Structure 1
């Protein structure tokens, strides 16, 4: 049960967005640009970064929902996502570039000041562009905010993984629209 009366039964951030629609637009606009907008990183890779940060923050709702989206978009599916979320960035079953970006995202998750020249140089050495590094840092920072928003108000989390898969299919098809 959420800490406040939301006036709806929607899980996770969806309930919060419906509760305060005037903040939903900017928040979902940011998610749309970061996770679906123009980028040399695939949508699956960006969803994986969001899920990785959320998992590290122990945000069950965001880790599950963005993990389901990443699983639907990445060639390795759920197994690839589960392995990535279960281990350290250096062990993730993704390209070396994405592993280096996950390392940066993990540092941002803990404290943005932990991102070092060495971590950025390692990402560049694996082919990451400045834009990819920028977007990784912004995705990680934004998901720290989203995670704290969802967990800070104790929003409900669906028990059934099929609900996350269904939500992922909707996100993939329609994007990050404001819930009605």
Structure 2
């Protein structure tokens, strides 16, 4: 049960966004740019980074929802997403993505955990400065989103069908669909 009274029974961050649309808009815009904007990393790869960080943070709603978003956009589907969450080094992803996941994991532990060795390994595997930058920002943003959702005990459904429904909307229409139109909180 959420720690505060919400005007809806929408799960996860959606319920929190409906409570406070003024903060929902910039948070949705940030997710839209980072996870769906033009980029050399695919949308699925960026969702995989978000999933990985959310999994490390034990955020049930965010790890389940972004796993569904990543699975819908990656050829390996949910099997690949689970492999990355369980063992990113052994998962069948590119060396570049493995290096970026290593950076994301370091950010999750703390920004100062990212070392020049992490960055050099990413560069050697073909990562650009933009990909390194955005990996750090995705990881940092998802630490915030995860703590927002869990800190207010947002509703976290167990049923995979809920996440599939949300994934269909996000994959096809984007993150701005979860930002409410007007103030309610």
Specify every segment of 5 or more residues in structure 2 that has no aligned partner in the other structure, as ranges. Answer: none
Deviations 1:140-172 (A, max 9, x none): 000000000000000111111011011111001
Secondary structure at 2:89 match in 1: helix
Partner of 1:46: 46
Partner of 2:55: 55
The aligned runs of 1:75-154 (5 Å cut-off) are 75-87=75-87, 89-154=88-153
State how far apart, in whole Å, the 1-side matches of 2:166 and 2:180 are: 12
Higher relative contact order (CA 8 A, sep 6+): 2
State how far apart, in whole Å, the 1-side matches of 2:39 and 2:180 are: 25
Deviations 1:11-50 (A, max 9, x none): 1000000000111110000000000011100000000000
State how far apart, in whole Å, the 1-side matches of 2:151 and 2:28 are: 18
Partner of 2:162: 163
Secondary structure at 2:2 match in 1: coil
Partner of 2:171: 172
RMSD: 0.8
State how far apart, in whole Å, the 2-side matches of 1:132 and 1:92 are: 20
Give the Å deviation of 1:86. 1.5
Partner of 2:19: 19
Q: TM-score, normalised by structure 1?
A: 0.97
Give the Å deviation of 1:179. 3.8
State how far apart, in whole Å, the 2-side matches of 1:160 and 1:179 are: 24
State how far apart, in whole Å, the 1-side matches of 2:121 and 2:23 are: 37
Partner of 2:6: 6
State how far apart, in whole Å, the 1-side matches of 2:170 and 2:115 are: 33
Specify every segment of 5 or more residues in structure 1 that has no aligned partner in the other structure, as ranges. Answer: none
Secondary structure at 1:90 match in 2: coil
State how far apart, in whole Å, the 1-side matches of 2:72 and 2:97 are: 17
Deviations 1:105-160 (A, max 9, x none): 00000001010100100000100000000000000000000000000000111111
